[in-house]
Amino acid sequence: MAGGGAASRAGGLVYPSPIVFDALQQAKSCLIMLHGLGDSGQGWADVAPMLQPDLPQTKFIFPTAPIRAITVNGGARMTGWYDIADLDRIGSESQDAAAMHESRRYIDELVEKEVAGGIPASSIVVGGFSQGGAMALMSLRSKHKLAGIIGLSSYLPLLEEKPIVSEENKGTPVLMCHGDCDQVVNFDFGKRSYEELKKAGVNVDFKTYQYMGHEACGEELMEMRDFLKSCFSAAAGKL
CA angle 72, 80, 119 (to 5 degrees): 150
**How far is the C-alpha of 150 from the C-alpha of 148, rounded, in Å?**
7
For residue 215, give every residue at least 6 positions away whose Cβ sits within 8 Å of its Cβ, in sequence order, or none: 153, 179
Q: 132 with 184: CB under 8 angstroms?
A: no
Please say if 214 is a catalytic residue: yes
Please say if 180 is a catalytic residue: no
**How far is the C-alpha of 184 from the C-alpha of 201, rounded, in Å?**
28
**How far is the C-alpha of 19 from the C-alpha of 236, rounded, in Å?**
25
Active-site option among 123, 130, 142, 154: 130
Please say if 88 is a catalytic residue: no
Q: Which residues are catalytic?
A: 130, 182, 214
